[in-house]
Structure 1
């Protein structure tokens, strides 16, 4: 996605400890004069996603909003945390319009509180929740337009009549694309005869890759074929897979050097008990590396966003 090198967006940046709620954020930036905001990630029954960005005191009625979008009374609900990671690519507590900078979130619809326009500046997290950005609605518009998003300001507290003679006033803001996640594919399997009306399957779900068979040497069973290629995100399964690979190799080499059958060596060393004891430690270490890599990705993305688009005032700690 091409963007102008200099957007000349005026903003203030406040660094603070990680916060997960508006109340926590207010403790660190509430006295600086900007308006606090709340940001919701919603999902409809067709797995289309919406960010609703509103002033902290704006009342957002989910049922009314759903009707105004033309989705019925129960058409939208809070999106699962998985969508934050996979689509917005932000941590928990960090839903933000700035996440639309990511290509993976290009099809997410954004509804902005029209109350933003009456405020001198509003607070938003960028791609991490240990930083707050303060900027006006006009400067937010510059950013959104630079990534191809047309700002849509809405009276989120309005309750217009929706019916046969009164079509949904926000229907134009319903996105055309849906998102496929591993959780959704298990909970809601698609029937074979169901038409795909949103996004082509090959663009939302990775195709199954069939590996070519490998010729194994005598006495060495294939452990690689037992390891699924898509379990990296599940720490428990990943740790189990690693142990299933390591222990057969260990037994094979140890039995050769000690001239003992693998079955006897397994009983002598009580490897099954050892695997049960080792699994939690391996899961802990794996999760630590996973979180470290995830956090590094957020900060790298945030720095890229600031350098490529936001040319405002220096950081204020």
Structure 2
């Protein structure tokens, strides 16, 4: 296990720039929940995300990224995402180890820190219908807007084959 510092927002922005991916970021007070971030809706257009860091009994890890109001049935989602068993939430230590983020700052952009490919990234079909999606850029005091198709390019560039599946009810 490497003890390297996880990449931060500036590293992420540099990586997106190198890929030629357009992105905009708005700074704001730290938000830890979807409820706290609702006031930003008028200022930031597009699909806003909710992220579920999950694991199965065989220590396979998944990050589900869905639209903020989506409902995910955790009792049956394992069948959709290819988990070995029913899933539970991953521990904060694993979140930091694999994605370089703390609870409240969970984001698909964490793929930039998952250099060993420990996490399978799954995007909800309904979220990916938005032209633009909004995610924390590895910290919860900013929101980065990126084209949904560019998010898939970003995933590819980090060595992850992101799945787009119907995971919300």
Alignment of 1:69-80 (within 5 A): 69=82, 71-72=84-85, 75-80=86-91
Structure 2 counterpart of 1:163: none
Which residue, 99, 102, 107 being the options, matches 2:113? 102
Cα 1:121–1:5, aligned 2, differ >3 Å: closer, same or farther?
closer
SS in 1 for 2:76: helix
Unaligned stretches of 5+ in structure 2?
Answer: 1-14
Question: Partner of 2:140 in structure 1?
Answer: 129
Q: Report the TM-score when normalising by structure 2.
A: 0.82
Distance 2:71 2:110 in 1: 23
Residue 122 of structure 1: how far off its partner (Å):
1.2
Which is bigger in relative contact order (C-alpha 8 A, separation at least 6)?
A: 2
Aligned pair in 2 of structure 1 residues 66, 16: CA closer, same or farther (>3 Å)?
same
* Alpha-carbon offset, residue 5 of structure 1: 7.2
In the alignment, the residues of structure 2 paired with residue 5 and residue 32 of structure 1 have an alpha-carbon distance, to the nearest angstrom, of 21
DSSP-derived class of the 1:63 partner: coil
Give the direction of change, closer, same or farther, for the CA distance of 1:130–1:48 in structure 2 (3 Å limit): same
Contact persistence 1:96–1:124 (CA under 8 A):
yes
Higher normalized helix content (fraction of residues) = 1
Pairing 1:56–2:68 present: yes
Maintained 8 Å contact 1:66/1:76: yes
Of 70, 95, 104, the match for 1:84:
95
Conserved in 2, the CA contact under 8 Å of 1:117 and 1:136?
A: no
Larger proportion of strand: 2
The answer (yes or no) to whether the contact 2:16–2:23 under 8 Å persists in 1 is no
Shift of 1:112: 0.5
CA shift digits 1:259-306 (9 cap, x unpaired): xxxxxxxxxxxxxxxxxxxxxxxxxxxxxxxxxxxxxxxxxxxxxxxx
**In 2, distance between residues paired with 1:33 and 1:4?**
20
Q: In structure 2, how many angstroms separate the alpha carbons of the residues matched to 1:103 and 1:8? A: 21
TM-score (norm: length of structure 1): 0.45
CA displacement at 1:131 relative to structure 2:
0.9
* CA-to-aligned-CA distance 1:88-115 (integer Å, 9 cap, x gap): 2212211111111014562200111111
Alignment root-mean-square deviation, CA: 2.0
What count of residue pairs does the alignment treat as equivalent? 154
Aligned residue for 2:145, secondary structure, equals strand
Q: Is the 8 A contact 1:4 1:146 kept in 2?
A: no
Which ranges in structure 1 are unaligned for 5 or more consecutive residues?
Answer: 159-317
SS in 1 for 2:128: helix
1:70, CA displacement in angstroms?
A: 5.2
How far apart in 1 are the matches of 2:113 and 2:59? 18
Q: Which residue of structure 2 lines up, in the alignment, with residue 19 of structure 1?
A: 31
Q: CA deviation at 1:21?
A: 0.6
Relative to structure 1, the CA distance from residue 30 to residue 149 in structure 2 (aligned partners, 3 Å threshold; closer, same or farther) is farther
**Aligned match of 2:126:** 115
